[in-house]
Structure 1
Amino acid sequence: MQLVSDVILEDRPQALPQHDAVYPMLDEFALWDPQSWTQGHPHDFFKRMREEAPVMWSGPADKSTAGFWAVSRYEDIKQAELANDVFSSERGSINMFIKPRKEWRPKKLIPAAFNSIINLDQPHHMEMRIQQKDFFIPRFVAELRERVDAKIDALLDEVERQGPVVDFVKLFSQEVPLFTLCEMLGIDEEDRPKVIQWMHYLELANQYYVNPWTLLSRRPWFPIKFYHYVNEMFDYGERVMADRRANPRRDLLTAIANTQMAGKPLPQEYLDGSWLLIIFAGNDTTRNSLSGTIRLLTEFPDQREMAIADPSLIPRMTHEAIRLISPVQHMRRTALEDTELNGQRIAKDEKLVLWYPAANRDPSVFPDPDRFDMTRDNFDKHLAFGHGPHKCLGQRIAQMQLQSALSKILERFPQISWTGRQNIAPNTLVHAISSLEVNIYGEGGEKPSRHAVKTPQPA
């Protein structure tokens, strides 16, 4: 099977589009700059984009890179997602930029980011998706939920022990998805601390590439340790995949290891990319959705009280929270031919970046879009999980974790509140809440009597 990393289109310098821009180029927010996102989503800027420049040319970061078409309206993003024969995930990957191959460091890590299902077009994308689907269907999710419930209870015990004021990310929201993903993949208990350490260094790497001197001032040995842990991670992947082929188990690592394309096993590069994608995609989205929902419950106390009074609303609440949080900020597509979107001509090999936070607050679809309102008729029509063939395979897993966690949190700590302190890491791809300070007993800090909130079943 051909590797995406062997044929992927590297970005070429391109300051202006090949065809004249129909809409104005707004420049008060640098969409391409990770540092721009440390204050959260630029909702005022997205509003201007939707109204004045729904398919807007965004200039490049520098002379060595290409600009891209920024798409902000709900219907335009749906159209692009459905036209996967025109707007490719594989030709230029989902990443915002593709550096020249000579700059790909570490050697195995960058290609692994390209060689996975998220960067495949049809028919390979669907062929791989079908072979892994058994670990995302309702029956498996229900079995997994029992283990996740027990982990959540244990984590909340520790939160209460260290409370009342805690970092919600450190003690809870980063722990839930990592546990869930390790359970799905079938990672042995003794190996899980390694996975946590690898993920920590990979997240720090993003900060290192954005602002190296800031990180080096705190961690001068970071580059050496980072390369050591990356090599350790890929050595582990090779060993565990070989073991799962020789000694299959009932887990997702076995499904990945034994996936075939055209009757042949996947090459190691796809095995590396596949299991790392599960860890990355499932970890970032759920972690930030959990943290972001606690923030929303503080900002919209009426919704909190409704959920406490009627826990059957919690599945609706999680959808509405995901709409507002939009943990995945964008995906990128590459035009396979000259085409048109909302009146704008787009040339072959030009890039589209689909901005989900903008689409999820499109007032033509979601009236009063900035309001957290779980009673909306179309509460589940958001694009936070994407749309079309590439709609997130793990959406049921994500919803299960959110529903279980929020049910138990509201039962034990019904007045849990965000104190207003948070850190958002520089990241264009995800809304990366790296810390969120909460008081688990609310603003007054009084320990409540426990509410009898029943955990709802998945919608």
Structure 2
Amino acid sequence: MTDRSPTFDFDHQSIDFKDNWIDTARRLHAMDYPMAWTDAHDGYWVLADWEEAKRVTTDYENFSSDNDVHKEREGYRGVSIPQQTFPLMLSESDPPLSTARRRLEMPFFTPKSLRTWGAKAEEFFREALKNCEGRDEVDLVNDIVIPTTARTTLNLVGFEADNWQDAAMSSHRAIYLPPDHPDYPHTEIANTRVMFSRYLADRRANPTGDIISALAHGHVNGQPLSDPEAESMMYALVFAGFDTTTSAVVNALIWLASRPGARETLITSPQAMSLGIEEFLRFFPPTPGVGRNARHDVEIGGRKVRAGDRIFCWLGGANRDPKKFSDPDTLDLTRANAGDHLSFSAGPHRCLGAPLAKLEITAMLGTFIREMPDYTIDEDRAVRFPRTGTILGYSSVPVRLNAGVAA
């Protein structure tokens, strides 16, 4: 036990969290201040105050993201709770190092560079729908959305078209299955990492202008990007680049399935669609939260945080902060400040792919609700991830499409 207080029963990796996270957010916000200590995973603070969660994720000088696995620096434990045994070298480092690494990928996520990717996502989405023709029932996740988000992301990164499926499905299963599960894709992940090395070697000899080429020829602080750095950055793009977007789309389509009026509003108004996507992201945060490591003793909301303590910035909880969002447990497609959600985090580690995710969500939601107006989802048979500590997602969602799937 610990002398840190107040304490709160919280474990974002637990089955209870998956089933009761909204009620848990209510209980935390009902306290004098929405921050408390939990003894789960060697102990950490859970923070759900919107303003402070944004500040902590932004203030890298006082709250580090570093994952010092081998205890060569300050011994910080990264952004994942529990600590990952291999650091994600972009998200689990601090400026100025993380900024220098981030600059290698930034040119690919500017509005100009992404201009064609919304159309590309729609093209992949229509191909997925076409592949479902003639079937009474399909799986929204595995037959339609994952093929779209995975192909879009992997094409942007620079993967060969024929290689997308193995990388995509191994990533997808790794997100929701524990490592000791018999179906956990250990072999597929190992093969994918071997493929990363092959791609990097190939792009060093034959650059093609994609993200892999940028990493293969990138320099950080005057030194060539090392193979472990480049492979880690590719790993993050591939293994976190599309399940988050898939989660947002699937949760939105499940909610919209029983609300034809809301679908009509989104179809007829681009402004409503834009604002609605922000509200879906607030209400169904794809990633529950991110960790930070306190560099110094500090006080937050009357809680005494010690140097070295871990703080879980609960982004989903902050999105339900009633001080920031009125009636936060209601999904309101007209919510004026919906775009203030923290689902993409904040500060120097705000999700670089957020603009791409919004383009994909817009393309998929718009196409689906326009061309599949009579779709039905069997929520009783939908299978959520066994745990949602990494992604608030589904492994399977049965859906019946309209007769005569549009191509």
Q: TM-score, normalised by structure 1?
A: 0.81
How big is each residue's C-alpha offset from its partner over 1:335-390, in whole Å with a ceiling of 9 and x where there is no partner? 11111111111001110001111111212211121222221111211111111111
Q: Match of 1:57?
A: 37
Write the mapping of 1:240-251 to structure 2, written as runs, cut at 5 A: 240-251=199-210
Gap change, CA 1:300 and 1:342, over 3 Å in 2: farther
What is the aligned-residue identity percentage?
Answer: 23
Q: Match of 2:97?
A: 124
Aligned AA (1:16): T
Contact 1:93/1:333 (8 A) holds in 2:
yes
1:151 and 2:128 correspond: no
Q: Match of 1:69?
A: 45
Which among 368, 379, 383 is matched to residue 423 of structure 1? 383
Measured in 2, the distance between the counterparts of 1:310 and 1:391 equals 28
Which among 136, 143, 155 is matched to residue 183 of structure 1? 155
Q: Match of 2:141?
A: 169
Q: Match of 1:46?
A: 25
Measured in 2, the distance between the counterparts of 1:449 and 1:433 equals 23
Q: Match of 2:55?
A: 79
Contact 1:115/1:269 (8 A) holds in 2:
no
Answer with 377-386 or 228-237: which moved more.
228-237
Q: TM-score, normalised by structure 2?
A: 0.90
Aligned AA (1:145): G
CA deviation after TM superposition for structure 1 residue 438, in Å: 2.3
Aligned AA (2:15): Q
1:207 and 2:186 correspond: no
Write the mapping of 1:177-326 to structure 2, written as runs, cut at 5 A: 177-200=149-172, 202-203=174-175, 207-209=177-179, 212=180, 215-216=181-182, 226-326=185-285
Contact 1:38/1:423 (8 A) holds in 2:
no
1:138 and 2:111 correspond: yes
Q: Match of 1:96?
A: 81
CA deviation after TM superposition for structure 1 residue 267, in Å: 1.6
Contact 2:134/2:404 (8 A) holds in 1:
no
CA deviation after TM superposition for structure 1 residue 148, in Å: 1.8
Measured in 2, the distance between the counterparts of 1:410 and 1:197 equals 26
How big is each residue's C-alpha offset from its partner over 1:400-446, in whole Å with a ceiling of 9 and x where there is no partner? 000011111111112323322321112312112111222334xxxxx
Answer with 290-299 or 119-128: which moved more.
290-299
Which among 392, 397, 407 is matched to residue 436 of structure 1? 397
Measured in 1, the distance between the counterparts of 2:169 and 2:57 equals 35
Q: Match of 1:8?
A: none
Contact 1:300/1:372 (8 A) holds in 2:
no
Measured in 2, the distance between the counterparts of 1:297 and 1:314 equals 12
> How many equivalent residue pairs?
394
Aligned AA (1:48): R
Measured in 2, the distance between the counterparts of 1:200 and 1:449 equals 26
Contact 2:247/2:393 (8 A) holds in 1:
yes
Gap change, CA 1:44 and 1:322, over 3 Å in 2: same
What secondary structure, in the 3-state scheme, does the structure 2 residue paired with 1:142 have? coil
Contact 2:167/2:188 (8 A) holds in 1:
no
How big is each residue's C-alpha offset from its partner over 1:135-162, in whole Å with a ceiling of 9 and x where there is no partner? 1011111122232221111112233432
Contact 2:278/2:338 (8 A) holds in 1:
yes
CA deviation after TM superposition for structure 1 residue 82, in Å: 2.2
Which among 3, 16, 22 is matched to residue 2 of structure 2? 16
What secondary structure, in the 3-state scheme, does the structure 2 residue paired with 1:333 have? strand
Write the mapping of 1:331-350 to structure 2, written as runs, cut at 5 A: 331-350=290-309
Contact 2:293/2:309 (8 A) holds in 1:
yes
Gap change, CA 1:194 and 1:419, over 3 Å in 2: closer
Measured in 2, the distance between the counterparts of 1:273 and 1:449 equals 40
Q: Match of 1:34?
A: 14
What secondary structure, in the 3-state scheme, does the structure 1 residue paired with 2:91 have? helix
How big is each residue's C-alpha offset from its partner over 1:221-279, in whole Å with a ceiling of 9 and x where there is no partner? x6xxx443333222211111111122111111111222211211122111111001011
What secondary structure, in the 3-state scheme, does the structure 2 residue paired with 1:117 have? coil
Gap change, CA 1:414 and 1:434, over 3 Å in 2: same
What secondary structure, in the 3-state scheme, does the structure 1 residue paired with 2:291 have? strand
Please, what is the CA RMSD of the aligned residues?
Answer: 2.2
Measured in 2, the distance between the counterparts of 1:141 and 1:161 equals 34
Which among 354, 362, 381 is matched to residue 403 of structure 1? 362
